[in-house]
Chains A and B, each alone.
Chain A
Amino acid sequence: MHPTDFTLAGAIVALDEGAISAVELTRAHVDAMEALNPRLNAFITTTPEAALEAAKQSDAKRARGEAGRLEGIPLAIKDLFCTEGVQTTAGSKILGGFIPPYESTVTSQLKRDGAVFLGKANLDEFAMGSSNLTSAYGGVVNPWSRRNDPDVRLVPGGSSGGSAAAVAARMALGATGTDTGGSIRQPAAFCGIAGIKPTYGRCSRFGIVAFASSLDQAGPFARTVEDCAILLRSMAGFDPKDSTSADKPVPDFSRACTRSVKGLRIGVPKEYRLDGTPPEIERLWRQGLDWLREAGAEIVDITLPHTKYALPTYYIVAPAEASSNLARYDGVRFGLRVAEKDSDLRDLYERTREAGFGQEVRRRIMIGTYVLSAGYYDAYYLKAQKVRALIARDFTQAFGQVDAILTPATPSAAFAEGENSDDPIKMYLNDVFTVTANLAGLPGLSVPAGLDGQGLPLGLQVIGRPFDEETVFAVGAAIERAAEFKALPAIRAGL
């Protein structure tokens, strides 16, 4: 067995038993990264020497009996997490060369538990995108390809496309991501792996480059549901540096993966049956419900009447918050500065931001600026916050009847570069099934469940009650067991 074939849970056992050392495990992943990254562009920055050094220390700690929960496990870190001493770009030119003097809380907790960082994974610029094509460092290639058209380059999804591709291609055993409107769940589905956005507040946002503060939430990617559970346990927890992080105990999520779903009530929202959804996705959804029924769950029809307003609400709230968060990129304190010889301060701001932000980011900042501007605030921003409250209330009412909700993760399998990029609204529709969980602050898990006619992976999404990730993991693991998803991408390590 090649060392990159381990699951994360399996690798921990192998390390504990001495079947492999952390250095050997890390070396195999570093080799995979060096061989495959030129083709996939999943990493913006790689740190192989630091990874091998950390692995060496992990082996020493394990020998002393001081192994942490993730001791020696090689991970990819989305380049939106500030990592002390390692360039952090947010996928943008405007942060080129920025070396944070501090560490994000999530990554510091992963390090505390012994994880080894391989490098910083590519992403859509400032996490704005559903394809990874808006990265200033180039798009990521999905390691999967169409059976009948293997030469077409498919996108890995976004914004955490580099993280998802790195895990799918076995360059890393797991990865961090962030999810503002679906940026973990959609790329997980497109790359045939698992990914969870936990409840808003479960993970600290301190040290994560902010996009839309009331929607952003960190979460893990891995190849199994249990592996995600193991990672989330390390990532989660209260942080006094983030007043929106929740002061709640962090359960052992991996134990929940073995829970029975017998007697659970699973909701099927009728509003998620959209016109134009490919029949394969409808079929997979029905299949998922059948699996849960066979495992003893009860399927219940529910209604989430404001679903159709979720995306337009998101495209007011997120740009509004982004326009405010991205005001700090002005060429003064860090990152790029563009000035002409006779530039005044305002000209310096405007030139820096024109040159430093890509087209999608500029577009969203301008939308946000407009909807917050005098005279339009009530009509757009305040209205969107009220609709958001109705969307959240729909879920509260639904969770009076059910314990979890099952939906498709995405409206299609991975698409090709250029297929949706001519029309921003068409691109935004990729997040149609995921964005509601961000607006309501709820946990959502994407689990690979089948293949489409072209042999591309499709995911199902489990949405749960606030801070009830345990039920989400239980339902996701039940689907995973039933689906027996074994397909692998064409491009991967260990071949």
Chain B
Amino acid sequence: MSLDTATVRRVAALARIRLPEEEVARVQGELNGILGWIEQLQAVDTDGVKPMAGGTPQGIAAMPLRDDVVTDGGIAEKVLANAPDREGVYFGVPKVVE
């Protein structure tokens, strides 16, 4: 599988990373190098194998859920403390609706 330039631009757009035109060829080369290398997995017979989703070692019970209750709250100032822009108790962003 080899990525063409249109696909490289599309992946960058999906990842929300601006990709200047002069970098498309370099990134294409790097991604294709890595994808070519991981292609070797296609040689593994995985018929009937259940995918391992989490990181918990096999056969170990996992993932207790805690009660669905609020454990903190009313900390708007803390939440906003690192915001690059704010208006009142809201994050400030460029206008999205005309």
A57 touches B (CB below 8 Å): no
Do A370 and B11 have beta carbons less than 8 Å apart?
yes
B64 touches A (CB below 8 Å): yes
Q: What 6 A-B pairs have minimum CB-CB distances, sorted nearest first?
A: A385-B51, A214-B55, A334-B82, A466-B57, A337-B84, A386-B46
Q: A200-B57, A246-B62, A424-B33 are in contact. Are A351 and B18 (CB under 8 A)?
A: yes
The answer for the CA separation of A440 and B38 in the assembled complex, in Å, is 19
Do A367 and B31 have beta carbons less than 8 Å apart?
yes
CB neighbors of A among B73-90 (8 A)? 75, 78-79, 81-85
Tell me which residues across on chain A come within 8 A of B57, comparing CB atoms: 199-200, 392, 440-442, 466-467
Tell me which residues across on chain B come within 8 A of A243, comparing CB atoms: 63-66
Tell me which residues across on chain A come within 8 A of B52, comparing CB atoms: 385-386, 388-389, 392
Do A370 and B78 have beta carbons less than 8 Å apart?
no
Tell me which residues across on chain A come within 8 A of B49, comparing CB atoms: 386, 389-390
The answer for the CA separation of A331 and B65 in the assembled complex, in Å, is 31
The answer for the CA separation of A436 and B22 in the assembled complex, in Å, is 37
* Cβ contacts A254-275/B at 8 Å (1 or 0 each): 0000000000000000000000
Do B51 and A369 have beta carbons less than 8 Å apart?
no
Instruction: Name the residue in A217, A336, A337, A357 with the highest tally of chain B Cβ atoms < 10 Å from its Cβ.
Output: A337
Chain A residues with a Cβ closer than 8 Å to the other chain, count: 78
The answer for the CA separation of A369 and B31 in the assembled complex, in Å, is 11
B70 touches A (CB below 8 Å): no
Tell me which residues across on chain A come within 8 A of B93, comparing CB atoms: 332, 345, 348
Closest Cβ of chain B: how far from A420's Cβ, in Å? 14
Q: A101-B78, A240-B66, A366-B12 are in contact. Are A315 and B34 (CB under 8 A)?
A: yes
Tell me which residues across on chain B come within 8 A of A240, comparing CB atoms: 66
Of all chain A residues, which has the CB nearest B63? A243
Do A369 and B41 have beta carbons less than 8 Å apart?
no
A291 touches B (CB below 8 Å): no
Total A-B residue contacts, Cβ distance less than 8 Å: 188
Do A316 and B17 have beta carbons less than 8 Å apart?
no
Closest Cβ of chain B: how far from A466's Cβ, in Å? 4
Of all chain B residues, which has the CB nearest A199? B57
Do B31 and A247 have beta carbons less than 8 Å apart?
no
A251 touches B (CB below 8 Å): no
Closest Cβ of chain B: how far from A89's Cβ, in Å? 12
The answer for the CA separation of A88 and B78 in the assembled complex, in Å, is 15
A401 touches B (CB below 8 Å): no
The answer for the CA separation of A383 and B52 in the assembled complex, in Å, is 10
Tell me which residues across on chain B come within 8 A of A201, comparing CB atoms: 55-56, 60, 62
Do B38 and A315 have beta carbons less than 8 Å apart?
yes
Tell me which residues across on chain B come within 8 A of A380, comparing CB atoms: 38, 41
Instruction: Name the residue in A99, A357, A367 with the highest tally of chain B Cβ atoms < 10 Å from its Cβ.
Output: A367
Tell me which residues across on chain A come within 8 A of B53, comparing CB atoms: 214, 385
Closest Cβ of chain B: how far from A344's Cβ, in Å? 6
Of all chain B residues, which has the CB nearest A467? B60
Of all chain B residues, which has the CB nearest A349? B16
Q: A213-B55, A312-B40, A386-B46 are in contact. Are A363 and B18 (CB under 8 A)?
A: no
Identify which of B13, B30, B83 contacts A363 (C-beta below 8 A). Answer: B30
Tell me which residues across on chain A come within 8 A of B27, comparing CB atoms: 363, 366
Q: A366-B12, A366-B27 are in contact. Are A332 and B91 (CB under 8 A)?
A: yes
A14 touches B (CB below 8 Å): no
Tell me which residues across on chain B come within 8 A of A69, comparing CB atoms: none
What would be 13 A-B contacts, judged by CB atoms less than 8 Å apart?
Answer: A201-B62, A244-B55, A309-B44, A315-B38, A332-B83, A339-B94, A362-B17, A363-B34, A366-B8, A367-B31, A379-B1, A392-B52, A438-B55
Residues of A within 8 A of B (CB): 97-99, 101, 199-201, 213-217, 240, 243-244, 246-247, 306, 309, 312-313, 315-316, 323, 327, 330-337, 339, 343-351, 353-354, 357, 362-363, 365-370, 373, 376, 379-380, 382-390, 392-393, 396, 424-425, 438, 440-442, 466-467
The answer for the CA separation of A360 and B38 in the assembled complex, in Å, is 17
Do A383 and B83 have beta carbons less than 8 Å apart?
no
Do B15 and A366 have beta carbons less than 8 Å apart?
yes
Identify which of A98, A343, A370, A392 contacts B31 (C-beta below 8 A). Answer: A370
Do B83 and A424 have beta carbons less than 8 Å apart?
no
Do A357 and B84 have beta carbons less than 8 Å apart?
no
Instruction: Name the residue in A306, A323, A369 with the highest tally of chain B Cβ atoms < 10 Å from its Cβ.
Output: A369
Do A244 and B56 have beta carbons less than 8 Å apart?
yes
Of all chain B residues, which has the CB nearest A100? B82
Do B82 and A335 have beta carbons less than 8 Å apart?
yes
The answer for the CA separation of A151 and B21 in the assembled complex, in Å, is 40
Closest Cβ of chain B: how far from A298's Cβ, in Å? 24
The answer for the CA separation of A493 and B70 in the assembled complex, in Å, is 48
Closest Cβ of chain B: how far from A197's Cβ, in Å? 12
Do A309 and B31 have beta carbons less than 8 Å apart?
no
The answer for the CA separation of A387 and B51 in the assembled complex, in Å, is 8
Identify which of A246, A330, A333, A335 contacts B60 (C-beta below 8 A). Answer: A246
Do A334 and B83 have beta carbons less than 8 Å apart?
yes
Do A387 and B41 have beta carbons less than 8 Å apart?
yes
Instruction: Name the residue in B1, B42, B44, B62 with the highest tally of chain A Cβ atoms < 10 Å from its Cβ.
Output: B44
Of all chain A residues, which has the CB nearest B17? A353
Tell me which residues across on chain A come within 8 A of B59, comparing CB atoms: 396, 466
B6 touches A (CB below 8 Å): no
Do A366 and B84 have beta carbons less than 8 Å apart?
no
Do A369 and B11 have beta carbons less than 8 Å apart?
yes
Q: A312-B38, A363-B30 are in contact. Are A306 and B44 (CB under 8 A)?
A: yes
